[in-house]
Structure formats: structure tokens, C-alpha cells
Structure 1
């Protein structure tokens, strides 16, 4: 989605003993390491331990702060540190929802023909976008949101795995990466990637699958613009800027290394809606091929996808703006054939693209046919149209009945946060849990999927 509103982020309070599903250890953590009765401290990765029910692994062996040696890359000498910032912060609130946790996945999600397989089940899956989930500072809010999503039958959740800045904000503000040609910094502190740590662990506890992406084409939460501010060039030259790409890959390595063993990760995503205005189509193709190959070298177990909107000429299309190469600066069907991309993505916003709403059915069906021809599943990853069921339900039905489309995820999910009794952002497309058009957009759609 091109523009997204900021969400109110509130910090929780510390507790004497960690509550159910609270953090209880990990690199850089300095809070409580004992759990409430009935829960044990379990290691999900070296950075994150969580209080979970039943017999678990040993308590954390180290809570020391660590930092990787700074590296210099390219001509811009983009030094990358993984030293923790915001040290000395108090533990965050670990209140959880009252719902029963879903057993964590025991295997990695994968493709199976033209569909996805999760926990051994191959079917069409529905999900949603919760870009702001990683920016919540109260653990109870994350747990509440994921409990509601899981209860609805939605399975895949797409979150922003980036939050880039050019000026380090004051303590209490979430940011993941500071970008500067004189020395970039990856924030592994309490208001840095530890927030994403909790999102991953909570998703695992609630049986959800995450799509985590690494950069935004738009300027929300930094994006490519933050790299341009640091390393020069423009949004179009970012894809070939040596310093920017070196730091981008350094950030990818930092994130992937934290969660490469987590079965709660559905897929890594290169970017949110990458575009290259005025570029030869080879620019994005080469960038996507190189980046996806690099991710696979770090983590061969998880799927990788592009995160693009689906622009470019396509058999059966009507030649309108979205079917033109100039719309995104790439040819979607060619990029779909990159071997290190496991599945394709497409987005759908007729209002933004100057198309009538019923045109969306053609968009979905032509992409599905291309995916079937490439023998890869595709995901209708974002869609929205004035938040109206009569507009969006046909797209859902077309996606469900089209070979090659393996799932859909509406933009965007909304909920009421327990920490503030406030609602998350409404951008005109938000569907709030159990409110308004929730039944026709979610409940009925899940029922249709289960009956298909």
C-alpha cells in the first residue's frame, strides 16, 4: 500500500515474574528469567526466550549483550554494527490474551504444486496485512492481535521487517536500522529487533505464519528513501547502488539469522511494492535474482518472494496501465521465473490505478493463468477498494476459484489494543476484528475456503 498511517505505540510495564508468553531471556535481555506457574522458559533462538506452557528447553544460559564487528562494504564504507541500543530498558508488559495457544509449527511452510503446504496441510490459505505489528511496544497488544487473527481462521500475516531512520530517535521509539554512509547501525535493543523477536515468537505460539519483508519502495518507515539519504542516488538507482545494496544485504543477514530456524516464518520478502521508474526491466530482474539467491544462501529452508504488485504485459490482459511495463519498470511474468523466488505476488488497487472495480477479476485470473503456466503458486498479497464487500468479495471468489492463485490477504487488519483501548490505524481499507464488514470480508470467506 502506497501510504500508511502511523499507529499509536505504547510501552508496557515490567512484571516481577514473566507472564504467559512473555520474554524470559536472550542476547541483550535483562529482565525476569522465571515464568509464572505452569510455564517454562524456552529458547526460540539465541536472541529470544519465551514463557510457554508444558515441558520446555533449559532456561537461558546467557543474557549478556553482544555486538558483531563492524564491517565496511563497497565504496561508501557502510559500516554495519549489531550492537544493542536503548540498553537498560525495563522489561515490557507480557500480558497475553485469554485464548488457548495453538501448537507451534513443526515444519517449514513450502509450495506444493500450485498451492501452499503448512503443517502438512496443502490448501488455499487466507491471511491479512498487519504492517504495524512489529512496532507495537506492549507484548500484550501483540498477543491480543494474534489471538484474534488466529481465532478468525486467517493463517498468514504480513508484517514490516524494516523500520529505517536517518536520525536515531529518542528511547522509547521503535526503529530497526540507522542508515548513514559514515556508519550504519542495526538496532538489536529493546526498541529494535527485539520487538520483531516478540512478533515471531507470538506468531509461533498462536499458530500463525509470517511474511517478513526487508525494505519499502515508499517512504513510510524509511524505505528506499532512507537509503538514498544515506548513500546518494535516487529511488531508481538504489537497485544498483553499491553502498546501499551492501547495507541492504547486511540488514537482511541480521534479520534472517535471527529467525532462520523458526517455523513461524512463512516467507522472506525482498521489498514492499518495488518499482523502478524509467528503468530497463533488467534492473529489477537482476536485483531480485541476486537478492533472492543471497537469501537462499543464508537460509535454504524458508520460501522467498518478491512483494511486487504484478505489473507488465500479460497474456489475456486488456493493455490498461497496470498491464504496461512502465507501471512498475519490470515485467512481472519474467520475474516470476527466477528460480530462487518460490512464489509470485500481486496486489490489487483499482482506485489507485484508475480502473473499474470489476476489472479486478481479470487482474486476478490473468495472473493465476501465468502462475499455473510457470508451475508456481501466487499470492494475492494485498487488495482493497473503499472497504466495501460488494467490491472485494468478487475478487476473493475469483482468487479462490482460479488455478495458480494459492491464497489472498486483504489490506489491512485492524483491532482494538488492550494497552490503550484504542483502535489501530484506519486508512480507508482497514477491516476491524468483529466489526463492520468483518463477517462478509473474513468469516464468510473462511467458510467458503473450508467448503471448497
Structure 2
């Protein structure tokens, strides 16, 4: 009898192997451009809380626990948080690496705690492994360590950077910055190109991925709570071709994948490019620096890298010189490019300083309907961590924006559970809200099927003022944004012309009033 049972087990195992059946993976994976978990689609709304390891290292584990509890109450399933802190300050308990290869066990135990508490809370983590900006050490800290070695085989007479270069900084959101050059011989981009620095980075990655969590007993590379590693937070360079960053990302992503076959890998970039191909340039308000190589990174090139699983972007239209609906265009352009490459698009950071509720509702609707994998708001505040850059959200204190995030998180979760996004029965153009208004309004319309849509604004004498939407959109109730700081008070009309996928055409016109 025992022998017969053994034979049956062997036969079942053999049949499962031949037919390709296996146990669902506990890790988030990606297949054909879609995120999956346990064999089912996985879509998410979450938030950024970069400071969690630092707070845990300083003893405030209650803040970490409360932040995760708030995220769960909002229906969020993913948090993005730093997995780095490089500094020579050996007295700072939150510094992870105080010299190349020199690690602070207390800080690593704090990271252990963050991962353990996320696991207890049913959350998953996206963890960047180095900062482009000078905060928390950043890439320039490695360059300074390299400068101090004195064995870099560079002649004292070799001048690569002028005095002007050494005074120049690259600015980012909320005071983020990095110096272009630290001396006449060493600059920020040496982080990508110097062999010694690259080996230091790989050694750091090896230590982090190979660490055994002191609270769970699980090696980081085997921990399903970690959704993805990001090679860096917002990598940039002075190389307008994008080749330096792309070459670095290609090499280190291969190295990481050789160590860890379980987790997804992203670059952590913002979505900037060095080519206008694929982008809706007329909608970008003449901000060509977004796609002309100014940022020294190429989304298109990085998207093609074999060992990069996630197409990641960040988005701060108001800080980039765009109106808020430019954010919807930024999302759609990158979702389309990512889908062509067969990779899921994740909006790793997004934020505005004003009109947060309506703007986040619009952007998250676009991510949801157009097939993005997920979105992470910048940033969630908790405890003593206040609104340090104007983008902070503290729930429930932030009111209606918390409600928007909660409602959107629910819809993303329902989509993950297989609930189809219900298409409206017919085309409808809704009245904009608020109306009358001054500043920004939302224009919503219902598409019963996929369609080519043109949404235009006209003045009271019928002259075209602006085209808000001109392209393909998936079915659902869309929410586009109209910012009118540049328009005078008066009566205007918006018109939607829709060519539905089954060939039918529909249109509608509504009046709006601007009062200043």
C-alpha cells in the first residue's frame, strides 16, 4: 500500500512537471508587461516613506509601526523606503555604510525591523540601493572616498573639471541636489564609470542581498516582503547621450540578478530621455529638457536593458514647468512605451503642492485605466516626520486627499482580485467641476469602449484655445485636468470628439466659466 501511494505521488509530480504546473510564487513577478502575485494580477497604490530605517535606528520603531498601520487603513499595499545611508559619521546610528565595506550593524538591524514590520503589516517594499542626490551620502560620497584613497592613477596635472564645474550643482525636487565635481579630477559621474567605485557598489549590494534578517531569519534575497530593488534613487548624469547611466545599469543589474533571481529590479529613474520619439511634445509646454538629454539619462535605452524588469518613472509637473494635466500625458506616454517593451510601468513618485485631491484622483485614474502596474505617492508623513518639502500627506489629517488615495487603492485592489473595470454603457461628457472656477477644474467623460479622443477648449467666439487630449484612450470614466492660470475670466466651451473602437462616433460640448 505504501509503495502504491509513493508511485501515485511520483506520477502526480511528473504530470505537474510535464504540464508546467507549479506552486504560485510568493514573490511579485512580471509576465508580459503585467505584475503578478500568486498567479493573479497585482496592481497597487502605495506611498513613499524614505525615512523608516533612519527612524528605527534612532529608536522610534513606533513611528514605523504607525506608518504601516496608516498605509493599511488607506488600503495601500506597497511602501517605498531607502535601503542606504553612506557617511563617514560613525556616531550617527542610522548610517549603514561608514566606509567602503564598513557596515554599522545597528543600522542594518533597523532595516531588519522595517522589513519585519512590513511583513507583519501585510505590506511589500520597494528599496532603492543608493541615492543620486547628496542626501544620505549619495553617489558623491563614494566619489569622495575614492578621492581620499590616493591610488587612482590620475596625474596631479590632469584637469577634468574647471572651477566653474566645481561650483555647479544639479537641483532636484524639494532642495535635492548634487555637486557636479568635487575636485579638478573627480566628479559625480565617476560613480558610474570608475571601476573601484563600481566594485564597492557591487559589494554593498552583495551584503544587503545576502543579509540574514535578525528578526525573521530570512535572507533578504529570499524575502517575499521585498517587491523590488531599485539600482538607485533618481540616477542622473552629465552625459546627454545617456550611455554612461545605461551602461552602468546594464552591468549592475546583471550582477544583482546573478545574486537574486527572486526579486524584480528597476532603475529608480524619473523617466527623462534623450529623444523626442514616443513623446507627446506639444503637451509638454516647451519643456524640451525633459527629453533632450539634459538629465543625462535615457528612459528608452534603460527600458531595453535585459535585466531591468520594471519601467519606473517619477512625476512632479508643477516643478517641471508643466500643468497638472501634463502629468496624465507623461503617464500615458511612458505606459505606452513600457507596454511595447513588455514591462510594467510603476509611478514610483508623484506629487503636487496645490490641488492635491483632484490631481491625484485624475493621475491615479489614468494609471488604473491605461494599464500601469502601480503608483506611490510622495510622501507619507508620520510622527515627528512633518511636511518637510510641501508634498507630505498625513492621514487622516490631510482630509480629502486621504479619501482619494483610499478610494483609488480600493479600485486597484479590486482590479487585482479580477474584478473587471466596468465600462459605462454609453458616451457621456460631464459638466466640469468645480464650475465656475479659478485655477484648475476636472473634465470627466465616460467611454463605453476604447476610443480615439480629442478634447478641446474654445473661447466664446469659437476660437480654439487649447487641445487637452488628442489620442487613444481605454474605456472607462476619464478625468482630465484643465489649468487656466494663463486665461482671462469669461465663458469658454469644451468639446469632446470620440471615435469608438467599434467605429461609432460621438461628441459633446459643455460650457465652463472662469472667474478671477
TM over 0.5: yes
Provide the secondary structure at the position in 1 that maps to 2:410.
helix
* Distance of 1:196 and 1:327 partners within structure 2: 35
Higher relative contact order (CA 8 A, sep 6+): 1
- 2:389 matches 1:427: yes
Partner of 2:251: 290
Shift of 1:106: 7.0
Residues 174 and 316 (structure 1), Cα distance of their counterparts in 2 relative to 1, 3 Å cut = closer
Partner of 2:187: 234
The counterpart of 1:368, out of the listed 335, 351, 354, is: 335
Contact 1:134 1:199 survives alignment (8 Å): yes
Partner of 2:362: 394
The RMSD of aligned alpha carbons is 1.9
Partner of 2:280: 317
Segment drifting more, 432-441 vs 392-401:
432-441
Residues 234 and 423 (structure 1), Cα distance of their counterparts in 2 relative to 1, 3 Å cut = closer
Note the 1:83-162 alignment, pairs <5 A. Answer: 107-136=26-55, 137-162=59-84
* Distance of 1:378 and 1:199 partners within structure 2: 25
User: 4+ runs of 1 displaced by more than 6 Å?
Assistant: none
Shift of 1:444: 2.0
Partner of 2:314: 347
Deviations along 1:165-195, one digit per CA (max 9) or x if unpaired, are 023225xx3110113xxx64122x22x1110
The counterpart of 2:201, out of the listed 248, 255, 272, is: 248
Residues 206 and 195 (structure 1), Cα distance of their counterparts in 2 relative to 1, 3 Å cut = same
* Distance of 1:446 and 1:322 partners within structure 2: 33
Partner of 1:199: 114
Provide the secondary structure at the position in 2 that maps to 1:325.
coil
Contact 1:317 1:323 survives alignment (8 Å): no
Contact 1:162 1:213 survives alignment (8 Å): yes
Deviations along 1:41-69, one digit per CA (max 9) or x if unpaired, are xxxxxxxxxxxxxxxxxxxxxxxxxxxxx
Partner of 2:241: 280
Residues 401 and 322 (structure 1), Cα distance of their counterparts in 2 relative to 1, 3 Å cut = farther
Shift of 1:253: 0.7
- 2:125 matches 1:210: yes
Deviations along 1:65-89, one digit per CA (max 9) or x if unpaired, are xxxxxxxxxxxxxxxxxxxxxxxxx
Provide the secondary structure at the position in 2 that maps to 1:381.
strand
Segment drifting more, 427-436 vs 315-324:
315-324
Shift of 1:423: 4.5
* Distance of 1:107 and 1:150 partners within structure 2: 19
Note the 1:39-58 alignment, pairs <5 A. Answer: none
* Distance of 2:77 and 2:39 partners within structure 1: 14
* Distance of 1:268 and 1:303 partners within structure 2: 6
Shift of 1:415: 2.1
Provide the secondary structure at the position in 2 that maps to 1:201.
helix
Provide the secondary structure at the position in 1 that maps to 2:187.
coil
* Distance of 2:326 and 2:394 partners within structure 1: 26
Partner of 1:445: 408
Partner of 2:102: 185
Contact 1:357 1:391 survives alignment (8 Å): yes
The counterpart of 1:334, out of the listed 301, 304, 310, is: 301
Contact 1:236 1:279 survives alignment (8 Å): no
Partner of 1:299: 260
Contact 1:384 1:429 survives alignment (8 Å): yes
Contact 2:239 2:297 survives alignment (8 Å): no
- 2:231 matches 1:270: yes
* Distance of 1:353 and 1:131 partners within structure 2: 22
Shift of 1:238: 1.5
* Distance of 2:205 and 2:91 partners within structure 1: 22
Provide the secondary structure at the position in 2 that maps to 1:239.
helix
Runs of 5+ in structure 2 lacking a partner?
A: 1-23, 148-185, 212-219, 416-420, 422-516
Q: Which has the larger radius of gyration?
A: 2
Shift of 1:196: 0.3
TM score, norm. by length of structure 2? 0.62
Aligned length: 335
Contact 1:158 1:210 survives alignment (8 Å): yes
* Distance of 1:216 and 1:435 partners within structure 2: 30
Contact 2:87 2:98 survives alignment (8 Å): yes
Shift of 1:206: 1.1
Deviations along 1:19-45, one digit per CA (max 9) or x if unpaired, are xxxxxxxxxxxxxxxxxxxxxxxxxxx
The counterpart of 2:95, out of the listed 172, 175, 178, is: 175
Partner of 1:7: none
* Distance of 1:433 and 1:256 partners within structure 2: 33
Partner of 2:380: 413
Residues 151 and 113 (structure 1), Cα distance of their counterparts in 2 relative to 1, 3 Å cut = farther
